[in-house]
Amino acid sequence: MTAPTPSPTRVLVLNSGSSSVKYQLLDMADGSRLAVGLVERIGEEGSRLVHTPLRGGEKRVRSGTVADHAAALKAVAEELAADGLGLDSPELAAIGHRVVHGGLRFTAPTVIDEEVLAEIERLVPVAPLHNPANIVGIRTAMTLRPDLPQVAVFDTAFHTTMPEAAARYAIDVDTADAYRIRRYGFHGTSHAYVSRETARLLGKAPEEVNVIVLHLGNGASASAVAGGRCVDTSMGLTPLEGLVMGTRSGDVDPAVTFHLMRVAGMTADEIDTLLNKRSGLVGLCGDNDMREIRRRIDEGDQRAALAFDVYVHRLKKYIGAYYAVLGRVDAVAFTAGVGENAAPVREAAIAGLEELGLAVDADLNAVRSDEARIISPEYARVAVAVVPTDEELEIARQTFALVHDPAQEK
Ligand code: AMP
């Protein structure tokens, strides 16, 4: 008698950007990583693939032009095959794709077919930088393994529970609806993962806790999560709204746009570039890396200090706003590059909020660790936590759960 074939447990997670593909191969039997890598500068000179096998073997780097996403994924497949982890492996259960914009239609991970791809395509006008690259990545992966379930995990999905009062802009309803203008929110897999991990850290079920999640990376967003459901988030129609970011302005008076058109003669595209690429920390002080900004502040640099103050002021404003939205807050969780590493940002954002039950313990805040941890003193009514995000694990979990239990697809 032959032993039954074990069901496949591996998931390849693909995050396809306009000129890059990030990937991770995970084994969902235990959530461990088998390989991680990145192809960058696709279609440009000096393309590079960096592949790291995590069960033995050295990191490998390939240089030379990678013409397009198809060539990039082919190279990734070759690297995985060289480690005995090829895409033809029967142990591969599915490929999970990060898709930035799922609009209102996609409220949960979704198995991709032509009709789903067409809908992702229809959303290109509201995500012109991201959805086209995601589509190319999906199409290429489908060609490589047409028989395998390909699952889209949407950045917007976690936020589809927002009530209309939070999601609607107060503009003419017919115009808004005709052009699908509303607040969608982004970084959803991170907000979902971190809010759940924060509940775990508190020893509670997600349904029992209200959490303010502060995802502070190069892109940054805040969310108010009540009992595991998102009730408000700071990014809107696009990932431009809300907090001050590395290169994005976050909130500005919309009149800035037509003022610049009329007074400075700038075009819509020029203003788009100004607000998305030449604003935020980089616009305020020339640097978007919080490490560099702190170093400059230590040397007495006034512009760096101003950038830090504007960044923290906005953050504090959102903490207060979401405190009011939630009514009761159990935890404030910091995550992503800045949130996980920049103790001065955490300290400054929480400073002065003692009346709200919020405080940071200086010693706990100074600890460097990859683990989720509480940094508020014992007496504080609200926990302040640092919770490392893991968007790839979350995408793999959602992908694997869907493939195993298709009933959960909405
Ligand atoms: P992410 O988009 O989550 O990868 O975050 C990237 C950003 O995190 C960088 O631009 C830095 O501003 C910030 N960052 C990363 N490491 C540190 C660190 N050790 N201290 C302060 N900020 C950091």
Q: What is the pLDDT of residue 9?
A: 95
Three-state secondary-structure class, residue 152? strand
CA of 179 to the centre of ligand 1 (A): 35
> Ligand 1: which residue has its CA nearest to atom 9?
289
CA of 123 to the centre of ligand 1 (A): 30
Judge whether 215 is annotated as a binding position.
yes
Assigned token pair, 231: 């009730």
Phi, psi of 224 (to 5 degrees): -105, 120
Distance of CA 105 to the CA centre of its chain: 19
Burial class (CB in 10 A: 0-12, 13-18, 19+), 286: middle
Q: Which one-letter DSSP state was computed for residue 37?
A: E
> Ligand 1: which residue has its CA nearest to atom 17?
341
Return the closest-CA partner of residue 101 out of 188, 220, 14, 222.
Answer: 188
Positions of E strands within 285-394: 331-335, 373-374, 383-386
Distance of CA 195 to the CA centre of its chain: 13
Q: What is the pLDDT of residue 281?
A: 98
DSSP 85-101: --TT-TTEEEEEEEES-
Ligand 1, closest atom to CA 281? Answer: 12
CA of 342 to the centre of ligand 1 (A): 8
Do the Cβ atoms of 393 and 193 come closer than 8 Å?
yes
Pocket-testing residue among 216, 218, 308, 386, ligand 1, by greatest number of atoms within 8 A of Cβ: 218
Q: What is the pLDDT of residue 3?
A: 61
Judge whether 337 is annotated as a binding position.
yes
Q: What is the pLDDT of residue 4?
A: 63
Q: Which one-letter DSSP state was computed for residue 392?
A: H
Ligand 1, closest atom to CA 290? Answer: 12
Quick one: angle between helices 302-326 and 290-298, nearest 10? 130
Residue ranges of the chain with per-residue pLDDT less than 70:
1-5, 406-410
Three-state secondary-structure class, residue 363? helix
Q: What is the pLDDT of residue 65?
A: 85
pLDDT tens digits, 186-226: 999 999 999 999 999 999 999 999 999 999 999 999 999 99
Ligand 1, closest atom to CA 246? Answer: 10
Report pTM: 0.94
Q: How far, in Å, are 31, 129, 138, 191, 218 from residue 134 at the CA level?
A: 24, 10, 6, 20, 20
Distance CA 353, CA 409 (A): 41
Q: Is the domain 10-154 a CATH 3.30.420.40 member?
A: yes
Element (H, E) at 277: helix 268-277
Judge whether 216 is annotated as a binding position.
yes
* In the chain, ranges of CATH 3.30.420.40 domains: 10-154, 204-391
Q: How far, in Å, are 84, 171, 191, 236 from residue 182 at the CA level?
A: 46, 10, 19, 7
Q: What is the pLDDT of residue 326?
A: 98
pLDDT tens digits, 362-401: 999 999 999 999 999 999 999 999 999 999 999 999 999 9
Q: What is the pLDDT of residue 408?
A: 57
Pick 204-391's CATH classification: 3.40.50.2300, 3.40.1180.10, 3.30.420.40, 3.40.50.620. Answer: 3.30.420.40
Any residues with Cβ below 6 Å from ligand 1, and which? Answer: 217-218, 246, 288-291, 336-338, 341-342
Ligand 1, closest atom to CA 219? Answer: 2
Residues with a catalytic annotation lie at: 155
